[in-house]
A and B are shown apart, each in its own frame.
Chain A
Amino acid sequence: MRLAPDKLAELEEMAYQIRRLCVEMITYARWGHIGGSFSMAETLAALYFQAMRVDPARPHWPERDRLVLSKAHGSPAVYAALALRGYYPAERLYSYCELGGLEGHTDLTCTPGIESSGGPLGMGLSIAAGMALGLRYQENPRARVYCLMGDGELGEGNIWEAAMFASHYHLDNLIGIVDYNKVQAKGFVWDLMQIEPLADKWRAFGWDVLEADGHDLEALVEALHRARWVMPRGKPLALIAHTVKGKGVEMAEFNYHWHTQAPEPEAADQMLRELARAYGRPEEGYSRLPAESGKEAFYRGE
């Protein structure tokens, strides 16, 4: 699976735009998870712009591939990817966390392209397995279900119930992706609860396993190709994407302080300029004033 140079350039651009839009929307909303959104940028670019068969004009197309975001706090990155893919105008991203806008955590009823509702961790793989089984029943052999999980949420028992179920039912139309960014809300994963040996765990649960550098687009595209077209043999597959939390902005990298923290406009400006320099794009800073969050008015007693 070789990627044409212009396709690689497109995916890179999408990863850049996903990060940029995450900074925009999180700063504007004054809430959101930057670190875990940045770590998924390449994965989402590879999924929505290369691996997944989706049609933004037909979000409920039965034959489509589905992405279940189990780490639903990573919603900004998926919202950005969906906007870039054409599901809705990018302007809608500025409604993130507003009443009637994009939900803080994913809500499938109000955003085209979002396939599951979530928030509490550890639930997505069961939903994805149910979808994969449903597609099997419908004799829909082409569609795939991707489930994007965080590393910290692998501490949830529900994930491993689902892992057993998926292998028991031979769901080789299910591809689990672990965004293994090594950092969870309050520190390093190995410090809070060791999840290693991770590949062995998935194998022991009856899954095939691939590992890739989750910021290397060619490696990701190759792994997603193998997961879909080469590996299926009656077992679900886990792709462990080794990533860096906050990847792309130095102050956020491997830094749990940026698990959930909205940048002030000055920090956002710095982040956007740093991203532009890293991607060799014209520097463009943060230009919007954050929305009145309501908190200020609340504390002023209005």
Chain B
Amino acid sequence: MANDASGAPLEMREVFGNTLVELGRRYPQMVVLDADLNTSSKALYFKQAFPARFIQVGIAEQNLFGVAAGLALTGFVPFPSTFASFASRRALDQIAISICYPGLNVKIPGSYVGIPTSHAGASHNCIEDIAVMRALPNLRVADPGDNADLAAVMRAAMETEGPVYFRVTRATLPDLFGADHVFQWGKGHLVRPGRDVTLYGTGMMTGFCLQAAELLAAEGIGAEVVHLGSIKPLDAELVAESAARTGCAVTAENATIVGGLGSAVAEALAERCPVPLRRIGVRDRWVSSGGIAELLAHHQMRPEDIAEAARQAIRQKRGS
């Protein structure tokens, strides 16, 4: 399911489409709505498997989420599917007041997030959705770190009553977790232990954190890596516990550092265990068009940038 015939990981959106179909088989009340992007998002697979439960609304995102609210109010579990940019900006009011305020059972995928959307430019390279969605009461927010995590998030979304927002990155991510991976709201994962610094990652950046930990290990620095797929609720306990052990921290997210995971971790640490902290992510600017590697370098979001941030945090901890 999460891998192709040769065992290599699938592109994440393929897993999104496949998991929609898997859930569709299990849950007859599930419906998928689309605003003319199903071949990009891969909601297409659900359309092919369950044409009668696939609702095309055309290019009308405000209506997409309003109709989803109405369907939820008649007992269906809608997945209104569009790009994260359009969910978090064009239709924010509908998501907030029609869906989140009454806590309706709507599952919102945000496709094409952050840097890997790349060529489409600033309008589509969505960086603010974590910050925006995290601010809405009743809404749960997740950024899965690999294919197994995405499938687990989607299953958890179906099993949880109430609104959910989850990100789907248009990229092929290395496997971090096995097929038996369990996702729980408000639970982070310690994916690599270390004693000198904690690297908190979410989404595709957890993989980069592991690469950064390798770079640091070569210098004799032990970096602990914690994956925070559930951004809201956040596993504040694990965040604080790890920081208390290592004494300094770096966050990494495929999004703006303003209000996103970095902010969430900073809030938790400020209240529970203040330690030197660096945040990796888009630094309050728009992500214009470019190649993925080029953009990651430009925005200083590569594993080596995470490693450098870790060295800085460690220096600050030691007061040098």
Q: Which residues of A contact B (CB under 8 A)?
A: 62, 68, 107-109, 115-120, 122-123, 125-135, 137-138, 157-158, 161-162, 164-165, 168
Contacts and interface: CB of A to CB of B under 8 A. Distances in A.
Nearest to A108: B102
A130 B73 contact: yes
A165 B98 contact: no
Interface string B66-89: 111111111110100000000000
A122 B69 CA distance: 14
Contacts of A137: 31, 74, 76
A163 to B, nearest CB: 9
B81 to A, nearest CB: 15
B62 interface: yes
Contact of B66 (A129, A132, A138): A129
Given A127-B98, A129-B67, A130-B71, 14 more contacts: A68-B70, A108-B73, A108-B102, A115-B73, A120-B93, A127-B66, A128-B70, A129-B63, A129-B66, A133-B70, A137-B74, A157-B62, A165-B58, A165-B63
B94 interface: yes
A127 B97 contact: no
Classify the interface of chain B: helix, strand, loop or mixed. helix
B179 interface: no
A161 B58 CA distance: 9
B59 to A, nearest CB: 9
A149 to B, nearest CB: 13
B60 interface: yes
B55 interface: yes
Contacts of B76: 134, 137
Contacts of B103: 109
B177 interface: no
B23 interface: no
Contacts of A132: 70
A123 B98 contact: yes
B190 interface: no
Interface of B: 31, 55, 57-58, 60, 62-63, 65-76, 78, 93-94, 97-98, 101-103
Given A107-B101, A117-B101, A130 B67 contact: yes
A126 B106 CA distance: 15
Nearest to A114: B102
A164 B70 CA distance: 16
- In the A-B complex, the 4 residue pairs with the smallest Cβ-Cβ separation, listed nearest first, are A130-B70, A126-B66, A134-B74, A161-B63
A116 B68 CA distance: 12
A116 B73 contact: yes
Nearest to A134: B74
Nearest to A105: B97
B50 to A, nearest CB: 12
10 contacts: A116-B73, A126-B65, A126-B69, A129-B70, A130-B70, A130-B74, A131-B71, A133-B67, A134-B75, A165-B63
A118 B70 CA distance: 12
Given A126-B62, A158-B62, A164-B58, A134 B71 contact: yes
B102 A117 contact: yes
Given A161-B62, A164-B60, A119 B97 contact: yes
Contacts of A134: 70-71, 73-76
A120 B97 contact: yes
Contacts of A127: 66-67, 69-70, 73, 98
Contacts of B55: 133
Contacts of A125: 66
A43 B125 CA distance: 47
A131 B73 contact: yes
Nearest to B101: A117
Contacts of B31: 137
Contacts of B66: 123, 125-127, 129-130, 158, 162
B279 to A, nearest CB: 33
Contacts of B62: 122-123, 126, 157-158, 161
Most buried by B among A116, A127, A131, A161: A127
A171 to B, nearest CB: 10
Given A118-B98, A130-B69, A165-B58, A158 B74 contact: no
B60 A161 contact: yes
Nearest to B69: A127
Given A107-B101, A107-B102, A127-B98, A165 B93 contact: no
Contacts of B72: 130
Contacts of B58: 164-165, 168
A158 B97 contact: no
Contacts of B65: 126
A123 B151 CA distance: 32
B94 A158 contact: yes
Contacts of B71: 130-131, 133-134
Contact of B74 (A107, A118, A131, A161): A131
Contact of A165 (B67, B74, B78, B101): B67
A123 B101 contact: no
Given A127-B66, A127-B69, A165-B63, A138 B74 contact: yes
B309 to A, nearest CB: 40
Given A123-B93, A165-B67, A117 B74 contact: no
A105 B55 CA distance: 30
